[in-house]
Amino acid sequence: MKNSTPPNKEKFYAVNDDNWGHKWGYKDSEFILNSDRTVSMTGDRYDLCGFDMPDFIPYVEEMLDMTVDVDDVLPEVDDKPVEKAQINQAFADAVKATFPEDRYTFGDSERLMHSAGQTTDEIYKVVFDKVDKVADMVFYIESEDETQKLIDLAIEHDICLIPYGGGTSVSNALQIPQFEKRMVVAVDTRRMNQIESIDLENRRVVVQAGILGSKLEELLQVKGLTVGHEPDSIELSTLGGWISTNASGMKKNRYGNIEDIVENVTMITPNGVVEQVDPITRASIGVSTQNMLLGSEGNFGIITKATLKVHTLPESSDYNSALFHDWETGVAFMYELSKSGAVPASARLMDNAQFRFGQALNPKATGMKVWIKKLEKFVVLNVKKFDPYKMVVTSFKLEGSKDEVALQQKTLKRLTKKYNGMIGGAENGKKGYNLTFAIAYIRDFMTRYRIIGETMETSVPWSKLNEVCEAATNKIKELHQKHNIPGKPYISYRVPQIYHTGVCIYFMFAMSIKGVKNPIEIFNSIEYAMREAIMEAGGSISHHHGVGKLRKDFMKGTISPASIEMLKQVKTAHDPKNIFGVANNVFSD
């Protein structure tokens, strides 16, 4: 069954009226500080839009032990400095002779946009300072044939190509290597954004790699289908990006991580096309080259399409939530849930700091809601005896048949009762689930008031979960004091994914940089030391963000020297001129 959606009539460019160009998300969506010190979110895309949040700033000030000075705003660089493009004239002439003019640009705004991802370090430099090195050209591929022609020209003229998807990388994977002396071309894939075919009988879909996750789901759901991969960045990230970082989605318990969803990947490399001739349900064919494409991070070639498993939309969908008295009890609940055989599509546990953060994002209650809120608070604190500074919250997204969802709800209620918890209901569960899509905007808002923060994730065995949380917490407190940073550091964590052998832990941390010299350098050193502490305590290098350049130093403690050498030999044999010189992961040198 061929997809009938026509190709885009208007050409996609990264810098446009919808997005910021550099900050996270869309121009119509941002947090703003009102004159009465309440906070609101503009637009109407998210559940947090359209009301004032009076508790937001007080929460920040309490957690950081500082006062937000509304008049002390970090000034943005309006005329963003971009170094002059280094042009290989022979290559540029060949491109002009081979491709239509709308396929490429030397414009400063597009070059800058394609030279940074979404780490705090990168965005701080783009918005408030200067990016060290910028791509020399941006090329928008529209077909596999164009991709092959571009690679051939790059080989002929010794050009460095860097694949670019949605630009949501948080591993410095899109940074241009400082040692790269050749002309650098960022290859944007987002015009390759179509569903090529749908095989209903075998439940497969062939999709071009530049499609945004939200667009993919939009096209499929019209036909009653879903892939089910829903990362926090689904609105902005691409299929190719998911594959190249070996990504995970919030509903992985039902649909799997990206490696469970993908049946075939097509990558065009300097040595030809790497793919299976046909997608394979499951086969013993020796070493699978497909596995090397997952997590390849732009080092081998350009991913152009993939075959994915597709599902009919679930018969039933619901939410739920539960409160527990402390973190340890919440972890014990999640551990037993993981063994229950009735795990919801998404199951999350948030620590007390994140629970209170969620409460700080509520609107001020009015009318009858004031009394309802007071009653709920009385029941939670006085009847059920929850400590507001220890209690934790879980949220759940349930999908499947009516019987499956009913069983999951029954299991949640049974285990919540066993661990002396309290069911919080579907409304709170939905709020907790959807909150993920909006809170990414908070970083850019807080940076304006000289508070910088970041997220960090790891996978860890059940037996070392608490040890890893304590190690990260102790390290940030130690270094915050060592560097004499004002106030207190903020750190919170949640368990967004549970597995047979362990969990993913997702950290949020922040600090005031008011009066701090070289704040980004200090912040980066603290983040590095926290990662080091996490791994020493038993955590992994990353659960789903990838390695890039940010975590490259930790690879030697992750895989053996012979494993690293094997990967380098494959790279050298397949791309001897290092055309794909993005230098991520073990290829950083």
By DSSP bridging, strand 502-512 and strand 104-105 are: unpaired
Decide if 412 contacts 35 (C-beta within 8 A).
no
Query: Strands across the sheet with 392-400, in order?
Result: 422-423, 316-324, 392-400, 346-350, 490-498, 502-512, 451-461
Helix (H, G, I), strand (E, B) or coil at 533: helix
- Residue 99's contacts (CB-CB under 8 Å, 6 or more residues apart) are 146, 149, 150
Q: How far is it, in rounded angstroms, from Cα 569 to Cα 423?
A: 54
Is 104 a catalytic site residue? no
Q: How far is it, in rounded angstroms, from Cα 369 to Cα 459?
A: 40
Count each helix (H run) and each strand (E run) in the chain, helices first: 19, 21
Give the largest Cα separation in the chain, rounded: 77
Q: Which DSSP category does 379 fall into? A: I
What values do phi and psi take at 557, rounded to 5?
A: -95, 5
Q: Which bin fits 66, alpha (ψ -120 to 50), beta or left (φ > 0)?
A: beta
Nearest to 479 by CA among 459, 451, 509: 509
Decide if 243 contacts 304 (C-beta within 8 A).
no
Catalytic residue among 26, 59, 506, 528: 506
Nearest to 456 by CA among 492, 419, 406: 492
Active site residues: 506
